[in-house]
Structure 1
Amino acid sequence: MKNKTVIITGASTGIGKAIAKYFITRGSNVVMNSYNEENLKKTYIEFNSPSNATYLAGDISKQETGKKLVALALEKFNSIDVLINNAGVFSPKPFLEVKEDDLELYWNVNLKGTFFTSQAAIPYMLQQESGSIINIGTVLVEHAIDGFPATAPLTSKGAIHSLTRQLAAEFGKNNIKINTIAPGIIRSPLQSKIGIESADSLAGLHLLNRIGETNDIAEAAYYLASSNFITGETINVAGGHTIGHTI
C-alpha cells in the first residue's frame, strides 16, 4: 500500500483515527475527513503533520463533501486507490421511542455518507481500472441483542451491508473491490458517548472474552485494501461475537 492514496472518513477519533495512523505509518497517502474540524486538525498535528497526509473537514452526508475529498486526493496525490467509509453515528434507543429525526440522522450520516462518497470516488477508480472500498458496518446487523435496542442506526447499517454486495456485483468486472468490516465491541470514545461506563464490562459478548481495540479494525482494513481477490464480503472482526456464547 506504499504510495497508494486512501480516503478515510470519520478519521479524527476512534476507529477512523487508528486506521489513518496505520496507513500513514506504512507509507500510504492519506486524506482524512471528519465533521469536527478542531478534532481533525488536532489528530493531524498529533500524527506530526505527516507529508503523506492531508485533511478536510466536512459533513459526509452532503454530496459536496465527498466530491471535495476526491478533488483533494487527486490534487495532492494524483490517485484514489482506497476509500474507507468509516464516518458514522450510533446510539441505542427503544423502537417505540424512535422519532423521524432519529431516522433522518442515521440514514443521512451512515447510509447517505457512505453512498455519496462512494459515488464520488468510483468514477476515478473506473479510470484506473482498480480500487477498493471498505465500508464499516456492525455485527449487530446479523446478531441482535435484547437489552441494546438500536433499530434506528441498525437499519442504516444493514443498508450499508446490502450496498456493499450490490456495488461488488456492479463493479467487480472493473477490478473494484467493495467489502464491509463489521466490528464487535471496540474500545473507542463511542462507548462513553452512549453511556457505557466500562467497555470492558461487555467482554463476555465475545468468545475471546475481551473487547476489541481500534488497531484490530485498522489491521483488517489494511488487509482488505491490499487484497486482490476479496469482494462483496462482510468480515466480522468481533472476537467470536457472532459465532457463539460463553455460558
Structure 2
Amino acid sequence: MSSTRTVIVTGASSGIGLGLARAFLARGYNVVGNARSPERLAEAAASLGHGERFVGVAGDIADPATAAQLVEQAIARFGQVDVLVNNAGFFLPKPFVDYSAAELESLLQTNLKGVVYASQAVARHMIERRQGHIINISASVALQPNLAVPAALPVLIKGGINQMTRALALELSPFNIQVNAVAPGIIDTPMHDPAHRAFLDGLQPAGRVGRIEDIADAVLYLAGADFTTGVVLPVDGGMSSGKW
C-alpha cells in the first residue's frame, strides 16, 4: 500500500469535479478521475498536469462496470482507494408538471445510480482495508427547497442521497469508514449564464454565489476528518438556514 492517499472523483472533467481534482492534486493526493467523455477527460488531464498522479477513466458512472473499473485502476496504479467523492450529476430545475419521463430517467441514472454503484464498488475495498472516506455531493436545495428555484425531482433524489449518507455512515462505522456529504448552494461554474449572475447572487443570504474553492475546502476537510460521519454539510452562504 502506498503512503500517498488516493481519491476517486466522479464527474471530474469540468466544474466542481475538475476543481476537486485540482485541489486534491495540490494537497499531494493521487487522483483517479471519471467522466463520460474521453475527449473532455483528456482535456481535463492536460489542464491539471501532474501526469503521474492523475489517471482518467472514461465511462458512464451509471454503469456498474465503470464503477468497478475505477476501483480496479486505482488499485493497479496506486495500490488503494482512500477517498471517494461522488460528484457526477446535473441539476435540472423546472416546474414539477413539466418533467418528462426521459428527464426523470436521466436524473435517476446519473444522480442516483451513479452514487450507488460507485459507493458499492469502493465500500467493498474499504471494508477489506477497514478505513476510508466516502463523500457525496448533494445540494442545498434538498435541505431547504426554494420557491424561486422549482426543482422537485432533484430535491427528491438529492434528499435521498442525504438520507443514504446517514444510513451508510452507521452501517460502515464498524469498518472505520466515514460517510459524509457536502450540500453546495449555487456555485460559480460554466453551467451558469453570466447574464443571470445578479439573480443568482441574490438567492444566498451571503449575497454572492459560491466559489469552487469553497466546495473543495469542505471536501478536503471531510476527507481528513476521522471523527465526523453521517454529516450533510451545507456550503451555501446561508441558503439552507430557512426562509429569509
TM-score, normalising length: structure 2: 0.95
- Offset at residue 79 of structure 1 (A): 0.4
Check conservation: 2:7, 2:31, Cα contact below 8 A: yes
- Offset at residue 65 of structure 1 (A): 0.5
CA RMSD for the aligned pairs? 1.4
Matched letter for residue 224 of structure 2? S
Q: Which residue of 2 aligns with 1:236?
A: 234
Q: Distance in 2 between matches of 1:210 and 1:128?
A: 42
- Offset at residue 50 of structure 1 (A): 2.5
Q: Which residue of 1 aligns with 2:156?
A: 155
Q: Distance in 2 between matches of 1:202 and 1:48?
A: 32
Q: Distance in 2 between matches of 1:200 and 1:41?
A: 34
* Percent of matched pairs sharing the same residue: 39
Q: Distance in 1 between matches of 2:56 and 2:65?
A: 15
Q: Which residue of 1 aligns with 2:202?
A: 204
**Aligned with 2:211 (options 201, 213, 217):** 213
- Offset at residue 135 of structure 1 (A): 0.2
Q: Which residue of 1 aligns with 2:10?
A: 9
Structure 2 unaligned regions, length at least 5: none
Q: Secondary structure at the match of 1:186?
A: coil
Q: Secondary structure at the match of 1:168?
A: helix
Q: Distance in 2 between matches of 1:166 and 1:217?
A: 23
Cα distance per residue 1:80-107 (max 9 Å; x no partner): 1000000001111211112221111111
Q: Secondary structure at the match of 1:190?
A: coil
Cα distance per residue 1:60-90 (max 9 Å; x no partner): 0110010000000000000010000000011
Give the count of matched residue pairs. Answer: 242
Check conservation: 1:8, 1:83, Cα contact below 8 A: yes
Runs of 4+ in 1 over 4 A off after TM superposition: none
TM-score, normalising length: structure 1: 0.94
Cα distance per residue 1:97-148 (max 9 Å; x no partner): 1222111111110010000000001111011110000000001012111132
Check conservation: 2:25, 2:50, Cα contact below 8 A: no
Structure 1 unaligned regions, length at least 5: none
Q: Which residue of 1 aligns with 2:147?
A: 146
Q: Distance in 2 between matches of 1:89 and 1:209?
A: 24
Does 1:48 find its partner at 2:46?
Answer: no
Q: Secondary structure at the match of 2:104?
A: helix
Check conservation: 2:144, 2:242, Cα contact below 8 A: no
Q: Secondary structure at the match of 1:227?
A: coil
Q: Distance in 1 between matches of 2:198 and 2:173?
A: 39
Q: Distance in 2 between matches of 1:230 and 1:11?
A: 25
Instruction: Rate the CA distance shift 1:39–1:124 in 2: closer, same or farther, 3 A.
Output: same
Matched letter for residue 26 of structure 2? T
